Structure formats: structure tokens, C-alpha cells
């Protein structure tokens, strides 16, 4: 695989003037897909039925909200919908096992063109080879390379394993089982081709969310989406910062049995830090929803009198507001203040390629900067407006 060029992080500075009408045209790009890599996008979304045209989602998209608050999206992935304004490229790429042909799956009216997937795969059990980054950074997720915890590559998820409804459409999320996982922007990763992921490094602040579910979770390490080591090794406390959903494996916990949203900060899943420890965090309550918004904010070392800050939020992605599960100091252990983030992007693995977990994934974003509660509330409203489960 192509060696990733380890250069300094590049923040995308998007001026407020470029956000007129809350629409940022990130544009298309030449998809790096393989044989028969068309973008799809023609015809109606699969499984929608014959009841006439379906309503588009006219609400602001997640990256519209974040970019308007000067938090540029530097990693944006979804197999169910467009989440970056102006994006017209493919959402993901499937491979047919009988002949190895690949097909890019685009979008129709902002939602995944499931009809193209169904026509291409037929009765075959296609796999997802790539999840395209909708941000301009090109952090496309491919199967994770080997790491220190698991010396074999990650397996791809099955394309047809998770059929769901969203705003009247039938689309496909990703259902992960142990051994399946994706990564970009690492030393052995193929993408981004530019070698510049644009993701947060060191103690730089970031905001990360994913839409997942209470269903399908497997309590192994670690069902994450977010920022991890470029080495695919465990490089110590503070070298990753990803959002996690689950029971906490052997590390921190909330109350009432979970599942909980936590921050994976390497060598620990943290729902918070209370009374000098990470267990039974009183404000971290279960997220018992079919569609879950799980969100973390990683702030800088100068906050809270030099003790640093991180915040954890969670709620129903189909209805209502997010709850603040924790907002306070970083764990009082060596390595977490300041943070030492490296900027690789992971999905359904730990930073060291640990891969004993499982869960459901619909969309996820990494944005630079620490979002305020006002921005987080607007982001949640935009997620709810997508129509998960409807």
C-alpha cells in the first residue's frame, strides 16, 4: 500500500462569507474506485415504493452547521446520505464477490442510491471496499492495515447487512462484526492521496460525532469512530481521541447498564472523570435508541485551570435534543494533558487495530475546533431532520 506522508495538519479555513445561504460547495472529485466505478445516482432510491416523489431533506446538513461555526469538516463518512453541502461524489463502493467488479454508489436527492447497489449485487453478498470521505480532505476509509493488537488487516463490512428507512427511503447502513474495520491517514494507508489529512494533531481541538444504535453492539475493543495513531500501534495515553458507543469493555462506565457514549483516549474509554476515577460516572446514562447520536468534544490543555477539557454528549438521532453526559477536566493521568493526537481516521477498530467489537454505523464526522453547546444543539437538530427510522 502507498506510504502515508506524515506532514503537518492543515486546517481548512472557511470564511463566513463563503457560507451564504448555509451552503458550502465542496464539489466532486475523480473517484479512486476500481472496475465499473460509476457514481450511481440515476433513478429513484431503492425500496422507496411507487407512491410518487419523495420529499427531499431541506434542513441544513451536519457540515453546514459545523462549517458555519468555523469548524471545518475534515472527515465525513456515510453510506446512507450526503452530509457535506455541495457534495456530489459517491458515498461508498461495493465489490461483487463472483467476479471482483466494483461499483460506486452515489446519491439521489441527498440519500443513498440503494437501487444501484441492489441491481449490481443482485443476490450476491457484496462487501463495502471504500467509504468515501465527503470532505475535501480525501480521507477515504479502506480496510484497516495490520496493527500491534491485531497483526492482520481488517475485513470489509457486508453491503446488504443493514437495511433501514430514512425519510421514506430504503438505504443501507453498516453492521460491523468482530474482525471488520476501516482506516485512513495512517503510515500504511492508501488514502488520502495528498498525504494531508487535515485532522487534529497534538492538542488541537476537535468535535467528533457518529450516528449508531443500541442494537448490534458487541462488547469488545473498540467500536470507535475518530482520531487515532498513524502507526496503528498503541502509542500511549492521549494519542487518540475517538467517539465510542458500548458497554465500556474493561474500562470506564456510566450508570444503569449502558450502552454509553464515551471518549476513547487510548488505554481507556472515558465517559467522564468523577472523584478521581472513570467508573459509574453519575451523569452518563444509557442511550437506548434505535438510532443514537454519540458526540465528543476534545478541547485544549489550557481549559479548567490547566487540567484540560473534554465533553461527551448523547441522544436519540431520530428525535429530541442531546444530553450533556459529561463536561469537565481531562483524566488526571499522565499523557492526557496535553493530548498527543496523531490524526488517523478509524471506524470500528481501536487505535492499535483492536477489532473484537461490533456495532452499527450510519454517518460520522470529524471537525476541527471545539464546538459550543449552541452549535451542538443545531447539529443534533440537523441530524434529527434527516428522518432516521421514518
Catalytic residue annotation:
266, 352
**HSE value, Cβ hemisphere, 13 Å, CA-based, for 80:** 29
d(CA 383, CA 358): 23
Place of cell 416523489: 53
CA-derived radius of gyration, the chain: 19
Is the distance from CB of 195 to CB of 189 less than 8 angstroms? no
With b for 16 or more beta-carbon neighbours within 10 A and e for fewer, the 73-106 pattern comes to bbbbbbbbbbbbbbbbbbbbbbbbeeeeebbbbb
On whether the CB atoms of residues 136 and 41 are closer than 8 A, the answer is no
Choose among 359, 368, 303: nearest CA to 137.
Answer: 368
d(CA 8, CA 343): 10
At residue 373, the 3 state secondary structure works out as helix
3-state DSSP assignment of residue 225: strand
Do you find a cis peptide bond into 65, omega within 30 degrees of 0? Answer: no
Q: How far apart are CA 345 and CA 242, in angstroms?
A: 9
Amino acid at each position: 500500500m502507498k506510504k502515508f506522508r506524515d506532514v503537518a495538519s492543515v486546517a481548512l479555513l472557511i470564511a463566513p462569507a463563503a457560507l451564504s445561504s448555509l451552503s458550502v460547495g465542496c464539489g466532486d472529485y475523480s473517484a479512486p474506485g476500481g472496475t465499473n466505478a460509476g457514481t450511481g445516482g440515476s433513478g429513484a432510491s431503492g425500496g422507496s415504493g411507487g407512491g410518487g416523489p419523495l420529499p427531499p431533506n431541506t434542513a441544513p446538513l451536519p457540515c453546514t452547521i459545523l462549517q458555519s461555526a468555523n469548524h471545518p469538516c475534515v472527515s465525513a463518512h456515510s453510506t446512507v446520505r450526503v452530509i457535506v453541502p455541495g457534495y456530489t461524489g459517491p458515498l461508498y463502493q461495493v465489490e461483487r464477490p463472483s467476479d471482483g467488479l466494483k461499483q460506486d454508489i452515489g446519491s439521489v436527492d441527498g440519500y443513498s442510491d440503494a437501487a444501484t447497489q441492489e441491481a449490481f449485487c443482485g443476490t450476491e453478498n457484496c462487501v463495502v471496499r471504500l467509504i468515501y470521505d465527503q470532505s475535501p480532505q480525501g480521507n477515504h476509509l479502506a480496510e484497516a492495515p495490520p496493527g500491534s493488537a491485531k497483526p492482520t488487516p481488517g475485513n470489509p463490512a457486508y453491503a446488504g447487512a443493514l437495511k433501514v428507512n430514512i425519510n421514506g427511503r430504503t438505504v443501507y447502513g453498516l453492521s460491523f462484526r468482530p474482525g471488520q474495520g476501516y482506516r485512513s491517514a495512517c503510515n500504511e494507508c492508501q488514502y488520502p492521496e495528498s498525504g494531508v489529512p487535515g485532522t487534529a494533531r497534538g492538542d488541537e481541538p476537535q468535535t467528533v460525532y457518529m450516528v449508531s444504535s443500541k442494537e448490534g453492539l458487541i462488547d469488545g475493543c473498540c467500536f470507535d469512530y475518530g482520531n487515532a495513531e498513524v502507526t496503528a500501534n498503541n502509542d500511549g495515553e492521549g494519542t487518540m481521541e475517538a467517539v465510542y458507543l458500548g458497554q465500556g469493555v474493561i474500562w470506564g462506565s456510566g450508570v444503569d447498564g449502558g450502552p454509553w457514549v464515551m471518549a476513547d483516549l487510548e488505554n481507556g474509554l472515558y465517559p467522564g472523570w468523577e472523584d478521581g476515577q472513570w467508573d459509574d460516572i453519575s451523569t452518563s446514562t444509557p442511550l437506548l435508541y434505535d438510532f443514537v447520536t454519540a458526540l465528543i468534544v476534545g478541547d485544549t490543555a489550557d481549559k479548567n485551570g490547566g487540567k484540560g477539557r473534554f465533553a461527551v454528549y448523547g441522544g436519540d438521532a431520530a428525535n429530541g435534543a442531546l444530553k450533556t453526559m459529561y463536561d469537565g477536566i481531562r483524566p488526571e493521568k499522565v499523557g492526557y494533558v496535553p493530548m498527543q493526537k496523531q490524526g488517523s481516521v478509524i471506524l470500528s477498530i481501536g487505535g492499535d487495530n483492536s477489532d473484537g467489537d461490533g456495532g452499527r454505523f450510519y454517518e460520522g464526522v470529524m471537525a476541527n475546533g471545539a464546538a459550543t453547546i449552541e452549535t451542538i444543539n443545531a447539529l443534533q437538530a440537523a441530524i434529527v431532520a434527516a428522518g432516521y427510522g421514518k
